Each structure stands twice: as C-alpha cells, then as structure tokens.
Amino acid sequence: MTRIDLMTDIRAKPRRKVLISGASIAGPALAFWLNRYGYEVTVVEKAGTLRAGGYPIDVRGTALEVVRRMGILPRLRDTHIDLRRLTFLDGDGGEVASIHPHSVTGGVAGRDLEVRRGDLTDALYSAVRDDVEFLFNDSIDTLDQSGHGVDVTFRGGGKRTFDMVFGAEGMHSRTREMLFGPEEQFHRYLGYCFAVFTMPNTFGLSHETMMWNTPGRAAALYAVGDNDEVHAFLNFAQPEPPFDAFPNLEAQQNLVAEIFADAGWEVPGMLAAMRDADDLFFDAVGQIRMPRWSSGRVALVGDAAYAPSFLTGQGTSLALVGAYMLAGSLAGSLAERDHAAGFAAYEHSTREFVTVNQGLVGEGGATLFPTTAEALEQRNNRLRSLSTMPSAEGRPAHSALTLPEFMPMASGHAR
Ligand SMILES: Cc1cc2nc3c(=O)[nH]c(=O)nc-3n(C[C@H](O)[C@H](O)[C@H](O)COP(=O)(O)OP(=O)(O)OC[C@H]3O[C@@H](n4cnc5c(N)ncnc54)[C@H](O)[C@@H]3O)c2cc1C
C-alpha cells in the first residue's frame, strides 16, 4: 500500500473514538496528537473549567520540541516568566547565596521555558478546542472492557463506548486506581510534604525567588513578575506521609503551622496568609512508578503513570513528551496498528526517558532541602561556590529522547 493509498484508506474509515480523562497538560496534549492522527477525541474533566493561573512550571529539552511541533512555542515564549534570581537565606533571614535559578535547575537560558501552569494549559486547550469535544464538570464512574471496546458510564449519568480510554488525571488518578488498584503500590514517597498558595506581594519582589531554610524546612516566596501576588511555598521533611491530613484542609493547615511555629524571617506572615488562602494545595512529595502503563484498552499518561515530583522540575516535560509518544505509537507507521502494539511501543520508546528523569531526584533535587544541620551547611557551601551565570548546557536527562517523526497527518492539518 502506498502512502497515498494509506491516507485515503484512513479517511474512508470511521474515526476511532477515544476518551481522555483530565484536561491539564497530558490530557490536552494527547488530545491534540490523537486528533491529528485521525481519532475522534472526547476529553472529560472533573473541574468546571480549565484551571487558570497556578504555579510556574518548566518546559525543557525534548518537551520544547513537542510544543514547537504543536505550533504553540511562540505563544509560550510570550508568557515566559524569566526568573532572574534565586536567593537562599539562613534561619535568621541572612543571605547565604544569590544565584541564577538555572544554576540549580539545570535549565538553559534563552532556550528552556518557565510559564505559569495556567498559561500552558490555556495554550494547549486553544490548540484543540475546535476539534475535540470537552466535557467539563464530569468524570468517569465505571469502565467495562468485557465487550469490544470500553463501555464508560459517567458520573453525570451518560453512557458511551470508546475504542480506547486514557487516564491523564495526575498523581492521584482514579482511572489508575480502577485498573491497577490503590495508589500506595505505585507511590514512592520522597520524605517531604509541601503546601503552596498565593499571597499578596508586600515584599517588593520581582522575577525572583527567596528561599529560607533550616534543617528539614524550607519556606519560599516566588514572584513570577512585577504583579501583586507571590507564590508561597512551605516544604518540610516528614518521615511518613500524613495520611490523616490529606482529606482535611484544616488538618493540613494545622500540621504546617505546627511544623513552622518557631520559624523566623517572613514565615509567620506566610502562615497567616495560608489560613486565608482560597487556593491552598497540600500534598506529599512523591513519584509514581509503575511496571506497566496500560491494561487492555486503557493507558495512562503524564503524572498518572510516572509523576517524577516537583524536585525534578520535569513533570510537565514528561507529560508533554509522554502524550506525544503515546499518540504517535498508536498511529505508528500503520494506521491499523492495534492498541496492544501501540501501548507496547509507547512503553518501549518512553520508559528510559521517564526513568532517567525520575532519577534526577537522587542527583540533586532533594539535596536542595537538607534535613540535618551538617547537610544544610554543605549545601550552603556548594551554593556559595556556584556561578551566578546561567547554565549553557542543561542536564542531559532533559534531552535524553530524540522525538521520532510519526506518520503524516490523517486529519488534514498542516504542520
Ligand atoms: C507545587 C508544584 C510545583 C511544580 N513545579 C513544577 C515545575 O517546576 N516543573 C515541572 O515541570 N513540573 C512541576 N510540577 C509538576 C507538574 O505540575 C505536573 O507534573 C504536571 O502538571 C502533570 O500534568 P498532568 O496533566 O499529568 O496532571 P495534572 O496537572 O495533575 O492534571 C490532572 C487533571 O486531571 C483532572 N482530574 C483529576 N481527577 C480526575 C477525574 N477523576 N476525572 C476527570 N478529571 C480529573 C484534574 O482536575 C486536572 O485537570 C509541580 C507540581 C506542583 C504540585
């Protein structure tokens, strides 16, 4: 069959229907590529709308090529945050070191991107919303794979059958739980918990982060621009995950307040702001590690399958690259590739990239938050000796996968 015959064949056939659960980063990115390969895509999101604003996230290395191929790189460049300075403080608020953030993140100045999460989600959504069906305020209730497809019932009462279903629901994915069982089996707890929220920028901070540390505790103020708000971040070591606090906002606030009760610098004001914040997000720092990312006609992508934790700064990049590789593996070089072969190709081509990036935690992420006085002093000495110049190389893990070109577009879009 020639390529022209193949394309004619694809267009003549009814489009295969797929459902993606989750509309943050992995979900819309996967929707984009599956739509481009000729699938009829529905995305279901439990929230009522896209989540706007949000903390800054990085897009680096291989993931930059994904957004370039999607045509949204120029738009993302316009929203680049351009963080210029990261200042570390000791327990009394005295300066330890002031460096360029890329010196510790391994980002590359002028190439890598740092954007508000909402700006990336918005760019991804804008790229697909005319071609893909979005169901907000709804979610999957049950999945049944006993027939020829996946029979889905929705919480909102709907029932439909899809050829494939994808879980892009983040770290605490319900689709993963329905298919593979409880999260504990796959969650690798990294020994910290954190709270993030926004608060007024009464500090005059601009394009910079200030981070206060004592052993086992970090408090940071993150000003993404010159505006009135800063992102507050409180991170602390905790030997066991505080399971009681996860479902209870007040318990989360009390735990954080107790841990930071005697802290100096701006921390008392941060604790007061946390009580008033309407966007407090509290979680354990951990990774998701799974032996397989699919079961039958259902596959996982992004944090749901392989969350690397914010310590790596690579969650967004893995979600973007994973979505590209999953869609491309299903399309493959043959339009008729079955889901099992596609899912196997996805794992085969992407797992090494995931493993290398999850491994960054051992290499330095967690050492930013030492738990003993001695380790903190060693970290501070290392920071003092770091160059103030931004990195020109980046970490090899960020670019450890060269993106393949998959088949040409089945849906007639120009690249
Ligand atoms: C504080 C913090 C800082 C971070 N910093 C960075 C950073 O600097 N760099 C970086 O690359 N990454 C960072 N990350 C990680 C990054 O946010 C994630 O890795 C990335 O968002 C993963 O995208 P995702 O689409 O897989 O999942 P998520 O962004 O978690 O999105 C999941 C989506 O699914 C929806 N959903 C959940 N359950 C259901 C359901 N049952 N049905 C329907 N919809 C559902 C959610 O509402 C959400 O929209 C950070 C994360 C946090 C929390």
Whole-number Å distance between alpha carbons of 234 and 248: 17
Is the confidence at residue 305, as pLDDT, over 90? yes
Distance 308 CA to ligand 1 centre (A): 11
CA of 117 to the centre of ligand 1 (A): 9
Q: What are the start-end ranges of the H helices in 310-372?
A: 315-331, 339-358, 360
407 dihedral zone (left: phi>0; alpha: psi -120 to 50; beta): beta
* Domain 188-286 belongs in CATH node 3.30.1330.10: no
pLDDT of residue 390: 58
Tokens matching residue 74: 């120029």
pTM (predicted TM-score): 0.92
User: Taking residues 3-27, what's their average pLDDT?
Assistant: 76
Quick one: which atom of ligand 1 is closest to the CA of 27?
Answer: 25
Q: What is the pLDDT of residue 1?
A: 45
332-343: average pLDDT? 76
What is the model's pLDDT at position 98?
92
What value does the mean pLDDT take over residues 42-65? 92
* Residue range 390-394: mean pLDDT, rounded: 64
Confidence of residue 363 (pLDDT cuts 50, 70, 90): low
Picking from 326, 343, 340, the residue whose alpha carbon sits closest to that of residue 406 is 326
The Å distance, Cα 386 to ligand 1 centre, comes to 31
Burial label for 239, CB within 10 Å (0-12, 13-18, 19+), is exposed
Q: In this model, does residue 3 exceed pLDDT 60?
A: no
pLDDT, tens digit, 9 for 90 and up, residues 89-104: 999 999 999 988 887 7
Instruction: Tell me which residues have their CB closer than 6 angstroms to ligand 1.
Output: 21-27, 44-47, 55, 57-58, 117, 139, 168-170, 174, 196, 302-304, 307, 310, 313-317, 319
Residues 123/308/35/346 CA torsion (nearest 10 deg):
150
Residue 351, judged by CB atoms within 10 A of its CB (0-12, 13-18, 19+), counts as middle
Question: Residue range 327-338: average pLDDT?
Answer: 76
pLDDT > 90: percent of the chain: 75
pLDDT at 413: 36
Q: Say what angle helices 117-128 and 62-70 make with each other, to 10 degrees.
A: 40
HSE (CB half, 13 Å, CA atoms) of 39? Answer: 29
pLDDT at 88 over 80: yes
Residue 406 has what pLDDT? 87
pLDDT confidence of residue 261: 97
Model pLDDT, residue 388: 60
Among 4-18, 141-155, 238-252, 361-375, the range with the most confident prediction by mean pLDDT is 141-155
Q: Which of 25, 140, 290 to mutate to test the pocket of ligand 1 (most atoms within 8 A of CB)?
A: 25
When pLDDT is averaged across residues 364-388 and rounded to a whole number, the result is 83
Which residues on neighbouring strands pair with residue 209, listed in sequence order?
Answer: 86, 222
Q: Is residue 161's pLDDT more than 90?
A: yes
From 3.90.550.10, 3.20.20.80, 3.30.70.1520, 3.50.50.60, which CATH number describes the 3-85+116-186+289-367 domain?
A: 3.50.50.60
For 198, phi and psi rounded to 5 degrees?
A: -100, 155
Looking at residue 163, its pLDDT comes to: 96
Give the per-residue pLDDT at 115.
93
How far does CA 148 lie from the centroid of its chain?
A: 32
Q: 188-286: same fold as 3-85+116-186+289-367? A: no
221-234 tens-digit pLDDT? 999 877 789 999 99
CB atoms within 10 A of CB 144: 11
CB burial class (10 A; 0-12, 13-18, 19+) of residue 244? exposed
Structure tokens at 384: 């003092």
Extents of the domains making up the chain: 3-85+116-186+289-367, 188-286
Return the pLDDT at 387.
58
Better-predicted residue by pLDDT, 373 or 104 = 373
